[in-house]
């Protein structure tokens, strides 16, 4: 008599059920605040890039400015606020996310000229970001921090 080796159908179903229960438990315990923080950091970085793109395509100065601990706006050189994708002229972070620090951006704004060069003011004369300093905007959910870095001269935006 030969002995068959392998799993029975009941054993396979039992293993799949156990993996499913573990998976559901893991997903329900996932830290959504950190995901929201990462998403908000991506949105902020995209809006900074968008202001640079607008400045270059329209030949005007565009600035992203902090309005409060959790809101910011995007305006042109005449001060006209642009509408964000959420349909509002101000963007408000979700889930208790707040700005932490605007490093070397002491007016709480970042502006771009028609060449896409970043500045830390929006009135004339524009003051370019110095290449010997680091410029960043931090946001936090209270326990985690994401930092958006803006490179002088090029205006490259990175999240760390």
Query: 16 in a domain, yes or no?
Result: no
Domain hosting residue 41, numbered range: 32-159
Helix (H) or strand (E) holding 106: none
Q: What is the pLDDT of residues 12-70, one digit of tens each?
A: 888 888 888 888 777 766 655 556 899 999 999 999 999 999 999 999 999 999 999 99
Query: 50 in a domain, yes or no?
Result: yes
Query: 129 in a domain, yes or no?
Result: yes
Query: 154 in a domain, yes or no?
Result: yes
Nearest CA-CA partner of 153 in 72, 52, 45: 52
- Burial string for 21-58 (b: 16+ CB within 10 Å, else e) reads eeeeeeeeeeeebeebbebbbebbbebbbbbbebbbee
**How many structural domains are present in the chain?**
1
Query: 14 in a domain, yes or no?
Result: no
Q: What is the pLDDT of residues 110-149, one digit of tens each?
A: 999 999 999 988 677 778 888 889 999 999 999 999 999 9
Query: 5 in a domain, yes or no?
Result: no
Identify the CATH number of the domain in which residue 56 sits.
3.55.40.10
Most confident of 20-24, 81-85, 149-153: 149-153
* pTM for this entry: 0.77
Query: 57 in a domain, yes or no?
Result: yes
Query: 2 in a domain, yes or no?
Result: no
For residues 154 and 51, the answer to whether their CB atoms sit within 8 Å is: no
């Amino acid at each position: 008599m030969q002995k068959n080796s392998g799993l029975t159908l009941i054993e396979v179903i039992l293993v799949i059920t156990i993996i499913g229960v573990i998976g559901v438990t893991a997903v329900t315990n996932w830290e959504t605040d950190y995901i929201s923080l990462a998403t908000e950091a991506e949105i902020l970085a995209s809006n900074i890039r968008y202001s640079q793109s607008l400045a270059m395509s329209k030949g005007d100065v565009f600035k992203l400015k902090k309005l409060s601990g959790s809101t910011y706006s995007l305006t042109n050189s005449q001060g006209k606020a642009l509408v964000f994708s959420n349909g509002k002229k101000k963007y408000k972070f979700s889930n208790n996310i707040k700005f932490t620090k605007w490093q070397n951006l002491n007016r709480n704004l970042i502006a771009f000229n028609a060449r896409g060069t970043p500045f830390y003011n929006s009135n004339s004369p524009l003051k370019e970001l110095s290449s010997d300093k680091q410029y960043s905007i931090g946001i936090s959910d209270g326990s985690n921090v994401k930092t958006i870095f803006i490179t002088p001269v090029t205006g490259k935006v990175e999240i760390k």
